[in-house]
Structure 1
Amino acid sequence: MNKPRFSFGDEVRVVRTVRNDGTYPGLQKGDQLVRRGSIGYVREWGLYLQEHVVYQVHFPAEGRVVGCRESELIAAEVFWDAGLFQYGDQVEVNATLTLKGQVVAAPGAVGKITATGQGLQGESFTVQFGDRFLQVPARLLRQVEAG
Protein backbone atom coordinates (compact mmCIF):
# COMPACT_ATOMS: atom_id res chain seq x y z
CA MET A 1 0.00 0.00 0.00
CA ASN A 2 1.24 3.49 -0.86
CA LYS A 3 1.54 6.00 1.97
CA PRO A 4 0.10 9.45 1.35
CA ARG A 5 2.51 12.31 0.70
CA PHE A 6 0.04 14.96 1.97
CA SER A 7 -2.03 15.22 5.15
CA PHE A 8 -5.23 16.94 6.23
CA GLY A 9 -4.92 20.72 5.86
CA ASP A 10 -1.82 20.68 3.66
CA GLU A 11 -1.79 23.44 1.05
CA VAL A 12 -1.28 21.91 -2.41
CA ARG A 13 -1.14 23.05 -6.03
CA VAL A 14 -2.66 21.07 -8.89
CA VAL A 15 -0.12 20.72 -11.73
CA ARG A 16 -2.55 19.84 -14.51
CA THR A 17 -6.05 20.88 -15.37
CA VAL A 18 -8.60 18.62 -13.70
CA ARG A 19 -11.65 17.88 -15.85
CA ASN A 20 -14.93 16.20 -15.03
CA ASP A 21 -14.71 12.48 -15.67
CA GLY A 22 -18.49 12.33 -15.46
CA THR A 23 -18.69 11.93 -11.69
CA TYR A 24 -18.87 15.64 -10.75
CA PRO A 25 -22.54 16.65 -10.53
CA GLY A 26 -23.98 19.55 -12.50
CA LEU A 27 -21.26 19.72 -15.15
CA GLN A 28 -20.70 17.95 -18.44
CA LYS A 29 -18.07 15.27 -18.86
CA GLY A 30 -14.84 17.00 -19.93
CA ASP A 31 -15.70 20.37 -18.34
CA GLN A 32 -12.84 22.03 -16.47
CA LEU A 33 -13.14 21.65 -12.70
CA VAL A 34 -9.85 23.24 -11.64
CA ARG A 35 -7.23 25.02 -13.77
CA ARG A 36 -3.64 23.90 -13.34
CA GLY A 37 -1.77 26.01 -10.83
CA SER A 38 -4.79 26.38 -8.54
CA ILE A 39 -4.21 26.16 -4.79
CA GLY A 40 -6.29 23.90 -2.58
CA TYR A 41 -6.31 22.24 0.82
CA VAL A 42 -6.31 18.51 1.48
CA ARG A 43 -9.44 17.36 3.29
CA GLU A 44 -8.81 13.62 3.27
CA TRP A 45 -7.29 10.85 1.22
CA GLY A 46 -8.13 7.33 0.20
CA LEU A 47 -7.02 4.53 -2.08
CA TYR A 48 -8.31 3.76 -5.55
CA LEU A 49 -7.96 0.11 -6.55
CA GLN A 50 -6.13 -0.37 -3.25
CA GLU A 51 -2.92 1.17 -4.55
CA HIS A 52 -3.42 4.70 -5.96
CA VAL A 53 -3.62 7.52 -3.43
CA VAL A 54 -6.44 9.96 -4.21
CA TYR A 55 -6.99 13.17 -2.25
CA GLN A 56 -10.16 15.12 -1.64
CA VAL A 57 -8.97 18.72 -2.16
CA HIS A 58 -10.96 21.88 -1.46
CA PHE A 59 -10.21 24.67 -3.95
CA PRO A 60 -11.69 27.79 -2.30
CA ALA A 61 -11.21 30.10 -5.31
CA GLU A 62 -13.23 27.71 -7.49
CA GLY A 63 -15.65 26.78 -4.71
CA ARG A 64 -15.11 23.10 -5.45
CA VAL A 65 -14.01 19.94 -3.71
CA VAL A 66 -12.30 17.70 -6.24
CA GLY A 67 -10.65 14.31 -6.19
CA CYS A 68 -6.99 14.54 -7.26
CA ARG A 69 -4.43 11.83 -7.83
CA GLU A 70 -1.17 12.24 -5.96
CA SER A 71 0.68 12.71 -9.26
CA GLU A 72 -1.47 15.78 -9.97
CA LEU A 73 -0.38 17.60 -6.79
CA ILE A 74 2.69 19.36 -5.46
CA ALA A 75 3.20 21.23 -2.22
CA ALA A 76 1.99 24.83 -2.68
CA GLU A 77 5.36 26.30 -1.69
CA VAL A 78 7.22 24.49 -4.51
CA PHE A 79 8.27 26.80 -7.37
CA TRP A 80 5.61 26.97 -10.08
CA ASP A 81 5.75 28.52 -13.56
CA ALA A 82 2.50 27.83 -15.36
CA GLY A 83 3.14 29.90 -18.46
CA LEU A 84 0.45 31.99 -20.11
CA PHE A 85 -1.80 29.32 -21.58
CA GLN A 86 -2.43 25.61 -21.25
CA TYR A 87 -3.78 22.80 -23.41
CA GLY A 88 -7.41 23.40 -24.33
CA ASP A 89 -7.44 27.16 -23.68
CA GLN A 90 -9.36 29.27 -26.19
CA VAL A 91 -7.20 32.10 -27.54
CA GLU A 92 -7.63 34.99 -29.92
CA VAL A 93 -4.88 36.12 -32.27
CA ASN A 94 -4.11 39.86 -32.27
CA ALA A 95 -2.27 39.97 -35.61
CA THR A 96 -2.65 38.60 -39.14
CA LEU A 97 -1.07 35.16 -39.49
CA THR A 98 0.10 34.17 -42.95
CA LEU A 99 1.50 31.04 -44.50
CA LYS A 100 3.29 31.36 -47.88
CA GLY A 101 1.70 34.80 -48.34
CA GLN A 102 -1.86 33.60 -47.67
CA VAL A 103 -3.84 34.78 -44.64
CA VAL A 104 -4.64 31.76 -42.46
CA ALA A 105 -5.88 33.64 -39.37
CA ALA A 106 -7.05 37.26 -39.26
CA PRO A 107 -6.94 39.41 -36.11
CA GLY A 108 -9.72 38.25 -33.80
CA ALA A 109 -9.68 34.65 -35.04
CA VAL A 110 -10.28 32.24 -32.17
CA GLY A 111 -8.32 29.02 -31.84
CA LYS A 112 -7.54 26.33 -29.30
CA ILE A 113 -4.17 25.61 -27.68
CA THR A 114 -3.07 22.07 -28.55
CA ALA A 115 0.56 22.22 -27.37
CA THR A 116 2.99 24.49 -25.56
CA GLY A 117 6.66 25.10 -26.19
CA GLN A 118 9.68 27.22 -25.47
CA GLY A 119 12.09 28.22 -28.19
CA LEU A 120 14.59 30.87 -29.25
CA GLN A 121 11.76 33.39 -29.66
CA GLY A 122 10.38 32.66 -26.18
CA GLU A 123 7.15 30.97 -25.22
CA SER A 124 5.08 29.74 -28.16
CA PHE A 125 2.00 27.62 -28.66
CA THR A 126 0.53 25.29 -31.23
CA VAL A 127 -2.92 26.69 -31.93
CA GLN A 128 -5.66 25.00 -33.92
CA PHE A 129 -7.60 27.40 -36.16
CA GLY A 130 -10.22 25.30 -37.95
CA ASP A 131 -8.31 22.47 -39.62
CA ARG A 132 -4.92 24.22 -39.41
CA PHE A 133 -2.34 23.95 -36.66
CA LEU A 134 -0.03 26.96 -36.38
CA GLN A 135 2.97 27.68 -34.16
CA VAL A 136 2.21 31.12 -32.67
CA PRO A 137 4.39 33.25 -30.36
CA ALA A 138 2.75 34.09 -27.02
CA ARG A 139 2.93 37.84 -27.72
CA LEU A 140 0.37 37.41 -30.55
CA LEU A 141 -2.28 35.72 -28.39
CA ARG A 142 -4.74 36.65 -25.69
CA GLN A 143 -6.98 34.34 -23.70
CA VAL A 144 -10.68 34.17 -24.51
CA GLU A 145 -12.60 33.93 -21.26
CA ALA A 146 -14.82 30.88 -20.91
CA GLY A 147 -18.40 31.80 -20.63
Structure 2
Amino acid sequence: MSFLWDVGDAVRVTSNVRDDGTFPGAARGELLIRRGSVGTVVDVGTFLQTQAIYSVHFLDVDRIVGCREEELIGADEPWMPSVFESRERVRADKILAAGNGGLHVPKGSPGEILRVLRHAAGVVYHVHFECAPGRTLAVPESALVACGE
Protein backbone atom coordinates (compact mmCIF):
# COMPACT_ATOMS: atom_id res chain seq x y z
CA MET A 1 0.00 0.00 0.00
CA SER A 2 1.35 3.44 -0.91
CA PHE A 3 0.92 6.45 1.35
CA LEU A 4 0.28 10.02 0.31
CA TRP A 5 1.89 11.53 3.42
CA ASP A 6 5.17 10.74 5.19
CA VAL A 7 6.32 11.21 8.78
CA GLY A 8 7.22 14.89 9.23
CA ASP A 9 4.77 16.22 6.60
CA ALA A 10 2.61 19.18 7.59
CA VAL A 11 -1.07 18.49 6.86
CA ARG A 12 -4.43 20.20 7.35
CA VAL A 13 -7.54 18.31 8.47
CA THR A 14 -10.53 19.11 6.22
CA SER A 15 -13.35 18.00 8.51
CA ASN A 16 -14.00 18.12 12.23
CA VAL A 17 -12.52 15.09 13.99
CA ARG A 18 -14.73 13.69 16.76
CA ASP A 19 -14.07 10.84 19.17
CA ASP A 20 -15.36 7.55 17.80
CA GLY A 21 -14.98 5.94 21.20
CA THR A 22 -11.27 5.20 20.84
CA PHE A 23 -9.69 8.43 22.14
CA PRO A 24 -8.66 8.08 25.81
CA GLY A 25 -10.39 10.49 28.18
CA ALA A 26 -12.84 11.88 25.62
CA ALA A 27 -16.56 11.29 25.35
CA ARG A 28 -17.92 9.62 22.22
CA GLY A 29 -18.77 12.38 19.72
CA GLU A 30 -16.60 14.99 21.48
CA LEU A 31 -14.81 17.41 19.13
CA LEU A 32 -11.11 16.56 19.15
CA ILE A 33 -9.77 18.69 16.28
CA ARG A 34 -11.52 21.50 14.40
CA ARG A 35 -11.49 21.44 10.57
CA GLY A 36 -8.74 23.61 9.14
CA SER A 37 -6.26 22.79 11.93
CA VAL A 38 -2.66 22.08 10.88
CA GLY A 39 -0.54 19.29 12.33
CA THR A 40 2.48 17.10 11.62
CA VAL A 41 2.35 13.42 10.61
CA VAL A 42 4.12 11.41 13.34
CA ASP A 43 3.19 7.86 12.26
CA VAL A 44 1.63 6.07 9.31
CA GLY A 45 -0.34 2.82 9.41
CA THR A 46 -3.32 0.99 7.97
CA PHE A 47 -6.77 -0.06 9.09
CA LEU A 48 -7.91 -3.47 7.81
CA GLN A 49 -4.98 -3.29 5.37
CA THR A 50 -7.11 -1.14 3.03
CA GLN A 51 -7.21 2.35 4.57
CA ALA A 52 -4.25 4.60 5.27
CA ILE A 53 -4.36 6.04 8.79
CA TYR A 54 -2.07 8.90 9.77
CA SER A 55 -1.24 9.81 13.37
CA VAL A 56 -1.14 13.60 13.28
CA HIS A 57 0.17 15.76 16.12
CA PHE A 58 -1.80 19.00 16.40
CA LEU A 59 0.61 21.11 18.42
CA ASP A 60 -1.83 23.95 19.18
CA VAL A 61 -3.99 21.56 21.27
CA ASP A 62 -1.16 19.05 21.95
CA ARG A 63 -3.14 16.05 20.67
CA ILE A 64 -2.18 13.16 18.44
CA VAL A 65 -5.19 12.00 16.47
CA GLY A 66 -5.64 9.30 13.83
CA CYS A 67 -6.86 10.69 10.49
CA ARG A 68 -7.91 8.98 7.28
CA GLU A 69 -6.12 10.00 4.09
CA GLU A 70 -9.26 11.59 2.61
CA GLU A 71 -9.53 13.89 5.67
CA LEU A 72 -6.14 15.52 4.98
CA ILE A 73 -4.61 17.98 2.54
CA GLY A 74 -1.14 19.50 2.51
CA ALA A 75 -0.76 22.37 4.98
CA ASP A 76 0.28 24.72 2.17
CA GLU A 77 -2.61 23.75 -0.16
CA PRO A 78 -5.39 26.31 -0.59
CA TRP A 79 -7.98 26.03 2.18
CA MET A 80 -11.51 27.37 2.02
CA PRO A 81 -13.30 27.37 5.37
CA SER A 82 -16.95 26.34 5.45
CA VAL A 83 -19.83 27.26 7.73
CA PHE A 84 -21.20 23.71 7.91
CA GLU A 85 -19.71 20.24 8.12
CA SER A 86 -20.82 16.75 7.08
CA ARG A 87 -23.69 15.34 9.17
CA GLU A 88 -24.80 18.78 10.40
CA ARG A 89 -28.51 19.54 10.36
CA VAL A 90 -29.52 22.56 8.25
CA ARG A 91 -32.61 24.26 6.84
CA ALA A 92 -33.18 25.75 3.41
CA ASP A 93 -32.91 29.54 3.72
CA LYS A 94 -34.85 30.02 0.48
CA ILE A 95 -37.02 28.03 -1.88
CA LEU A 96 -34.87 25.55 -3.80
CA ALA A 97 -35.77 23.97 -7.14
CA ALA A 98 -34.00 21.32 -9.21
CA GLY A 99 -34.58 20.21 -12.77
CA ASN A 100 -37.42 21.60 -14.85
CA GLY A 101 -39.74 22.17 -11.93
CA GLY A 102 -39.47 18.51 -10.92
CA LEU A 103 -38.22 19.06 -7.37
CA HIS A 104 -39.21 21.82 -4.99
CA VAL A 105 -37.74 22.33 -1.51
CA PRO A 106 -39.72 24.90 0.52
CA LYS A 107 -37.92 27.53 2.58
CA GLY A 108 -37.32 26.20 6.10
CA SER A 109 -37.19 22.54 5.04
CA PRO A 110 -34.84 20.53 7.29
CA GLY A 111 -31.98 18.52 5.83
CA GLU A 112 -28.60 17.02 6.55
CA ILE A 113 -25.22 17.82 5.01
CA LEU A 114 -23.82 14.70 3.34
CA ARG A 115 -20.65 16.18 1.88
CA VAL A 116 -18.75 19.47 1.71
CA LEU A 117 -17.30 20.45 -1.67
CA ARG A 118 -14.77 23.26 -1.79
CA HIS A 119 -14.22 24.88 -5.19
CA ALA A 120 -12.51 28.05 -6.36
CA ALA A 121 -16.00 29.54 -6.81
CA GLY A 122 -17.02 28.77 -3.22
CA VAL A 123 -18.39 26.09 -0.94
CA VAL A 124 -21.21 23.80 -2.09
CA TYR A 125 -22.88 21.11 0.01
CA HIS A 126 -24.52 17.84 -0.94
CA VAL A 127 -27.70 17.95 1.14
CA HIS A 128 -30.47 15.43 1.74
CA PHE A 129 -33.74 17.20 2.56
CA GLU A 130 -36.48 15.30 4.39
CA CYS A 131 -39.04 16.54 1.86
CA ALA A 132 -37.07 14.91 -1.00
CA PRO A 133 -36.44 11.27 0.02
CA GLY A 134 -33.71 9.57 -1.97
CA ARG A 135 -32.56 12.82 -3.62
CA THR A 136 -29.32 14.68 -3.00
CA LEU A 137 -29.06 18.33 -3.94
CA ALA A 138 -25.95 20.45 -4.48
CA VAL A 139 -26.70 23.60 -2.48
CA PRO A 140 -24.55 26.74 -2.12
CA GLU A 141 -23.67 27.88 1.38
CA SER A 142 -25.73 31.06 0.96
CA ALA A 143 -28.94 28.99 0.64
CA LEU A 144 -28.60 27.25 4.04
CA VAL A 145 -28.91 28.15 7.72
CA ALA A 146 -28.16 26.12 10.82
CA CYS A 147 -31.14 24.05 11.96
CA GLY A 148 -31.55 26.12 15.13
CA GLU A 149 -31.75 29.47 13.29
Runs of 4 or more above 6 Å deviation: 1-4
Q: Indicate conservation of the 8 Å contact 2:7/2:40, yes or no.
A: no
Distance 2:118 2:68 in 1: 27
After superposition, the CA RMSD in angstroms is 4.2
The alpha-carbon distance between structure 1 residues 75 and 124, as it changes in their structure 2 partners (threshold 3 A), is closer
Q: Does 1:141 align with 2:144?
A: yes
The alpha-carbon distance between structure 1 residues 115 and 39, as it changes in their structure 2 partners (threshold 3 A), is same
Distance 1:125 1:48 in 2: 29
Q: Indicate conservation of the 8 Å contact 2:55/2:64, yes or no.
A: no
The number of equivalent residue pairs is 137
Match in the other structure for 1:73: 72
The alpha-carbon distance between structure 1 residues 32 and 110, as it changes in their structure 2 partners (threshold 3 A), is farther
Percent of aligned positions that are identical:
31
Taking structure 1 as the reference length, the TM-score comes to 0.58
| Residue ranges of structure 1 left out of the alignment (5+ in a row) | none
DSSP 3-state at the match of 1:139: helix
| Residue ranges of structure 2 left out of the alignment (5+ in a row) | none
Amino acid of the structure 2 residue aligned with 1:142: V
Aligned pairs for 1:1-147 (under 5 A) are 5-7=6-8, 11-24=10-23, 25-28=25-28, 32-42=31-41, 44-45=42-43, 47-48=45-46, 54-58=54-58, 60=60, 64-69=63-68, 72-81=71-80, 85-97=84-96, 104-107=105-108, 109-116=109-116, 124-130=124-130, 132=132, 133=135, 135=137, 136-143=139-146
Amino acid of the structure 1 residue aligned with 2:140: P
